[in-house]
């Protein structure tokens, strides 16, 4: 069973930055599809970004140019660098993983088998 662990959440000011990390002890994340999603209470979980098998990268339109997803093979992490944060991006951010997703399925949270516990990102002055 793959267990995903997120870290790096916290408080950022509007326009500020945070970096989230996702790791999976005992499993090489570069072999998986690893996505980042976010959710606020009362709303559906929202796609943010995904790295497909360590190569292809896709972003939600709302974060393009501000967020960057990347892998660190040495640390076995998939990171999400978030710049120019906005207050309405306050949410719990989740790392998700799957070993068998095809490209057409990468934006749907229901398609992922593995999830982290989530990390809270608060954007506020």
Q: What is the pLDDT along the chain (125 residues), one digit of tens a residue?
A: 889 999 999 999 999 999 999 999 888 888 889 999 999 989 999 999 999 877 899 999 999 999 999 999 999 999 999 999 999 999 999 999 998 888 889 999 999 999 999 999 999 99
Q: Compute the distance between CA of residue 23 and CA of residue 78 in angstroms, rounded to an integer.
A: 7
What's residue 38's pLDDT?
Answer: 98
Let me know: does 59 contact 81? Beta carbons within 8 Å: no
pLDDT for 98 equals: 94
Query: Which DSSP string do the residues of 36-81 spell out, in sequence order?
Result: EEEE-TTS--EEEEEEETTTEEEE-GGGTTTEEEEEETTTTEEEEE
Tell me the sheet residues that pair with 31.
none
């Amino acid at each position: 069973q793959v267990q995903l662990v997120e870290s790096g959440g916290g408080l950022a000011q509007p326009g500020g930055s945070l970096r989230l990390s996702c790791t999976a002890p005992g499993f090489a994340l570069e072999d998986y599809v690893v996505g980042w999603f976010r959710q606020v209470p009362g709303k559906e979980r929202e796609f943010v970004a995904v790295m497909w098998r360590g190569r292809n990268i896709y972003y939600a339109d709302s974060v393009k140019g501000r967020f960057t997803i990347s892998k660190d093979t040495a640390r076995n992490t998939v990171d999400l660098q978030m710049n120019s944060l906005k207050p309405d991006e306050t949410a719990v951010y989740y790392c998700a993983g799957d070993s068998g997703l095809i490209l057409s399925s990468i934006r749907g949270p229901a398609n992922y088998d593995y999830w982290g516990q989530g990390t809270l990102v608060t954007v506020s002055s």
